[in-house]
């Protein structure tokens, strides 16, 4: 495994982290708890030190899972979690009022079985609460030792600048992959300018870039992809072109499709650390293997040129959820 520092913060993490959401939220049936605890601990044995969860995953049960798994390893790992999305009557509500953040941090600390959160993200920007007020609340939590670093998830450029001016951000979490390259146009230049790290989620395009999803794949109602426009049968078929391109690269370099996608991300900037999810040891090992893949500048130029020529079909979020990002 290789290790990286997120921006100028000094926070060192494994180049390939582990997104734990899918173990108990968003991707179909909840996995067996003991199996996932063992998988998380195995990830650490294989070099992973960066683990991502959130209060709303479950809700709550994903943090409990991560807390139980990492309790014996607490001082050797970086735990990231998130605040700002509350559940009410089965629906998600954005709430980053100071009193809500304080309730959230106490709940997360308890569930994660720890006395501090290494990296605390605002999960989505709450337009009802100025980001300066959010930053001030987190600053107080840092002074109290309950939070060590903070970040934002799916925030807009101006919000990032305003937040960073009050309390320097360690990382921004954003979807970014061969399947979604929009951050290259606006986000990456600003993060480089400000010295902020990037933590891409869905680096495998919600599983699409693994080559295991076809036009005939069907998703259950408890699988988030069942409502994502990019995952309709028609769009899945149209987007196979990028999978075939990745398959070609994998063959040339004698690696797997996920390793192509993850190593490509690593090659973009030295301050990027992605958090692919996994519920099997086989896939976990495969993802970790991406840390050893390297590209020449010529290879990257050819790959990026080809990617720019591929037109992908379908939006990455349904309309209602799309309104909550980039604010």
- Does residue 315 contact residue 229 with C-beta atoms inside 8 Å? yes
Chain Cα centroid distance, residue 223: 17
Q: Is 44 a catalytic residue?
A: no
* Selection from 246, 275, 269 nearest residue 258 by Cα: 246
Q: What six digits make up the tokens of 56?
A: 């709303």
| Active-site residue, from 3, 27, 44, 57 | 57
Burial of 174 per CB tally in 10 Å (0-12, 13-18, 19+): buried
Q: What does the alpha-carbon distance between residue 220 and residue 120 come to, in Å, rounded to a whole number?
A: 31
247-254 LR contacts (CB < 8 Å, sep 24+)? 247/211, 249/303, 253/293
Q: What does the alpha-carbon distance between residue 65 and residue 84 come to, in Å, rounded to a whole number?
A: 20
Catalytic center residues? 57
């Amino acid at each position: 495994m290789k290790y990286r520092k997120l921006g100028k913060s000094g926070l060192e993490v494994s180049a390939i982290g582990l997104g734990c959401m899918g173990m108990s939220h968003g991707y179909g049936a909840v996995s067996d708890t003991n199996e996932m605890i063992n998988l998380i601990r195995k990830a650490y044995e294989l070099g992973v030190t960066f683990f991502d969860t959130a209060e709303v995953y479950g809700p709550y049960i994903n943090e409990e899972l991560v807390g139980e798994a990492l309790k014996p390893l607490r001082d050797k790992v970086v735990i990231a979690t998130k605040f700002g999305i509350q559940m009410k009557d089965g629906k998600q509500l954005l709430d980053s009022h100071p009193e809500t953040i304080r309730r959230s941090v106490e709940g997360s600390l308890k569930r994660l079985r720890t006395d501090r959160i290494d990296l605390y993200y605002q999960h989505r920007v709450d337009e009802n609460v100025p980001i300066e007020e959010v930053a001030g609340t987190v600053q107080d939590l840092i002074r109290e030792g309950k939070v060590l670093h903070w970040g934002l998830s799916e925030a807009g450029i101006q919000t990032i600048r305003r937040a960073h001016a009050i309390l320097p951000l360690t990382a921004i979490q954003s979807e970014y992959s061969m399947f979604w390259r929009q951050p290259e146009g606006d986000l990456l230049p600003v993060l480089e300018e400000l010295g902020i790290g990037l933590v891409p989620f869905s680096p495998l395009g919600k599983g699409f870039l693994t080559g295991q999803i076809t036009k005939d794949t069907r998703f259950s109602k408890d699988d988030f992809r069942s409502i994502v426009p990019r995952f309709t049968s028609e769009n899945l078929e149209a987007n196979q072109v990028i999978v075939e391109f990745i398959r070609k690269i994998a063959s040339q370099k004698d690696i797997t499709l996920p390793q192509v996608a993850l190593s490509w991300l690593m090659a973009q900037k030295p301050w990027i650390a992605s958090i692919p999810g996994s519920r099997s040891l086989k896939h976990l090992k495969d993802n970790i293997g991406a840390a050893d893949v390297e590209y020449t500048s010529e290879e990257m130029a050819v790959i990026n040129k080809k990617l720019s020529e591929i037109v992908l079909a379908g939006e990455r979020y349904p309309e209602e959820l799309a309104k909550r990002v980039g604010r």
